[in-house]
Chain A
Amino acid sequence: MALAVEVSNLVKRFGDFTAVDGISFSVSKGEVFGFLGPNGAGKSTTIRMLCGLLLPTSGEARIAEHDIYRETELIRRSIGYMPQFFSLYPDLTVRENIEFYAGMYEVPRARARERVEELSGRLGLEGLLDRMTRTLSTGWRQRAALATALVHQPPLAFLDEPTSGVDPVTRRQFWEFIDDLAREGTTVFVTTHVMDEAEHCTRLVIMHDGAIIAEGTPEEMRTRYVQNMVEVQAAPLWEALEALQASPLVREAALFGDALHVQLREEVVDPAEAVRQALGEAGVAVEAAECIPPTMEDVFVALARGGEEAVREASP
């Protein structure tokens, strides 16, 4: 299958700080490709290089089969970009913003009108088209920004944290919309740090400190990076946490809602039983302890910790 994005050894330095440290990956056409990572991982910096807003320090990248150094003009025509920070004209109405950008992409006027109707229908923006963009709340601004980024029907869309600051219901609608886009053939490149959103992606990478530390489908991520996950309910919870963190069998124990998520070492054969035993020895009453499939958040926490340890080991 043809590649929508192809990146090899991409580096970006700001002074002597390396924001993106030689990353390589590729995205096939039609994918919903997730770009995950904690704050400052280098996600936006990568996207901005791929969109031609930032010149890489070194490395190669091809977008829609065009070279990012020599064919920026062609790349610009084939991508849509929704920046992380709101960037529509606050003193234009939603409709004026969308139509202005249709103009920038030379979408014929009649077609632009159709697109405004179509996108506002699908994103629920109908009633707000003539509102001044400045007066919209975050969720509606994000919808307007999404409509603007997609007005020219780009085959490849870069969405940088489209759901940041958006309530859970709207979040779900956004992802339904993104799924639809992909079904219609648009390749979507999306960043987020909300881990359960990663479930919507066909494939994802996790970035940390400028490097890619994991890559795969959500399913692969869960099975490959996190094993022996146990959810524990105990009283008192914090004593249980301390006891488990002290146990040599436990790799990681963290508070997760009103329960604990405990990851045991690979060699432990019956993790649930091991937890009961450890807590029994510590004199903490166990209400429940059962093996669970890890969530993406568990994956992320495990990987991020691992990443930090790797960094610490590398720099004595």
Chain B
Amino acid sequence: MSRLAHLIKKEFTQVRRDPAVLRLILIAPIMQLVLFGYAASNDVRNVPVAICDQDNSADSRQLAEEISQSRYFHLTPMAGDPRALEGLLLRGTVQIGLHVPRDFHRTLERGQTAQVGMYVDGTDSNNATVAAAYLTGLLRARGVSLAERSARAAGRRGVTMPGIRSEPRVWYNQDLKSVNFMVPGVFAMILLVLTVNLASLAIVRERETGTLEQLLVTPLRARELLIGKTVPFALMAMFDAGIIFLLARGWFHVPFRGSMALLFGMALVFLLHSLGLGLVISALARTQQEAQLTAFMVVMPNILLSGFMYPVENMPVVIQYVTYLIPLRYFLQIVRGIFLRGVGVEVLWPQMAMLVGFGVVTFAIGALAFRKRL
């Protein structure tokens, strides 16, 4: 066995005997899946919606009918006055208020875009975003058919007609299931959480327990130690990725339309970035506790800014610029793109290029910091 093989074997033995790390590797991914997969998918059922229909036309009534029939929404008694919507939202009676204005039907008939006011209770912003996106999707689909009908009636065939204005947000998750949105996200997020946490302990732990002193007098090379300290974590992360993938397909029935080789290949590229990040933390921290706190403080904003829970498009513009610096954002787009849209390099190349760039640079910095601190 080579030195490297001994090192990797030792790392696995230590992990096997450390309940905290075992929990992180075996239980955490499942918990995250259940949490985000189930909790989120249940939440977007029966979202209470109120409609203030001032148009009171056949079209507007049909719209209300359709909303009430959807299993995602629950139509509560109508409010007659747009201002009453505000009260319902304030009291939390409904989560979304729709205001159909007086000229809804006429605007559509003229072949113009009808404005429908949508007021969303953002307290539970994650839930609200998803619900609002669903409703927008529904309005849009409805709008297209209404517009087509009025266009036909007006005899203007073949001209593209605007319908109800809608800003599609979760547009690629067409069957409107949040689990399809969340589970691939968990796939990406777990890789970050796991590897940053494990790699951040890589050297501090040996330094703090004093074992580094004995290790560094051996002929072991810095490069070997670097590989020995990252490869085991990469393997564990890929193992978790495999488990999440199987559960996503077998248990949550998330569609998978793209290339598996591409998905796992990009996961490896992303690991370059996350392991590099962990190594930098490990090199800077003086104690294990400091390393873990830093890891937490690095991982949290990464997740928040990546679009894992809240779509980047909904963030303030300034923050949106910041998200360009978050490689998890690109990885999420890649993972969701491969899972749900089945797209490959031809579409995702800009994100892939960014991810490769970030991966190489972060790992290089991590490796340098690691060497310097030995």
Contacts and interface: CB of A to CB of B under 8 A. Distances in A.
Contacts of B5: 103
Given A92-B10, A103-B6, A104-B3, A85 B213 contact: yes
A104 B215 contact: yes
A206 to B, nearest CB: 25
B69 interface: no
B17 A91 contact: yes
A109 B214 contact: no
Interface string B1-33: 111011100100110011000000000000000
B220 interface: yes
Interface string B194-228: 00000000000000011111111111100000000
Interface in A93-130: 96, 100-101, 103-106, 109
Given A89-B10, A96-B13, A100-B6, A148 B214 contact: yes
Contacts of B216: 52-53
A79 to B, nearest CB: 7
B219 A73 contact: yes
Contact of B218 (A85, A88, A104): A104
Contacts of A189: none
A77 interface: yes
Contact of B213 (A87, A106, A148): A87
B13 A52 contact: no
A73 B213 CA distance: 16
B63 to A, nearest CB: 64
B10 A76 contact: no
A148 B214 CA distance: 9
Contact of A76 (B13, B14, B217): B217
Given A91-B14, A91-B18, A100-B10, A83 B219 contact: no
Contacts of A86: 210
A86 B213 CA distance: 9
B351 to A, nearest CB: 40
Contacts of B209: 87, 89-90
B3 A92 contact: no
Given A87-B211, A88-B211, A81 B217 contact: yes
Interface in B322-344: none
B20 to A, nearest CB: 12
A51 interface: yes
Contacts of A109: 1
A104 B14 contact: no
B14 to A, nearest CB: 5
Contacts of A79: 217
B214 A76 contact: no
Contacts of A92: 10, 13-14
B6 A53 contact: no
Contacts of B218: 76, 101, 104-105
Contacts of B10: 89, 92, 96, 100
Interface residues of B, number: 23
Interface string A67-86: 00000010011010101011
Contact of B217 (A51, A88, A89): A51
A85 B207 CA distance: 12
A106 B3 contact: yes
Contact of B214 (A77, A90, A101): A101
A121 B211 CA distance: 25
Nearest to B374: A53
A152 to B, nearest CB: 9
Interface in B313-368: none
A90 B10 CA distance: 12
A53 B14 contact: no
A81 B2 CA distance: 21
Contacts of A87: 209-214
Interface in A173-209: none
Contacts of A101: 214, 218
B219 A76 contact: yes
Contacts of B17: 91
A129 B212 CA distance: 22
A53 B2 CA distance: 23
A71 to B, nearest CB: 12
Given A91-B18, A92-B14, A109-B1, A104 B219 contact: yes
Nearest to A78: B219
Interface in A36-70: 51-53
A76 B214 CA distance: 11
Contacts of A88: 211, 214
Interface in A292-315: none
A109 B5 CA distance: 13
Given A53-B217, A104-B3, A83 B210 contact: yes
Tell which of A77, A103, A148 has the most Cβ of chain B within 10 Å: A103
B195 to A, nearest CB: 21
Interface in A132-161: 148-149
Interface of A: 51-53, 73, 76-77, 79, 81, 83, 85-92, 96, 100-101, 103-106, 109, 148-149
Interface of B: 1-3, 5-7, 10, 13-14, 17-18, 209-220
16 contacts: A53-B216, A77-B219, A79-B217, A87-B209, A87-B212, A91-B13, A92-B14, A100-B10, A101-B214, A101-B218, A103-B1, A104-B3, A104-B7, A104-B215, A106-B219, A148-B214
Given A87-B211, A87-B213, A109-B1, 18 more contacts: A52-B216, A53-B213, A53-B217, A76-B218, A77-B219, A81-B214, A83-B214, A85-B210, A85-B213, A89-B10, A91-B13, A91-B14, A92-B10, A100-B10, A104-B6, A104-B215, A106-B2, A148-B214
The 4 A-B residue pairs with the shortest CB-CB distance, nearest first, are: A103-B6, A104-B218, A87-B214, A87-B210
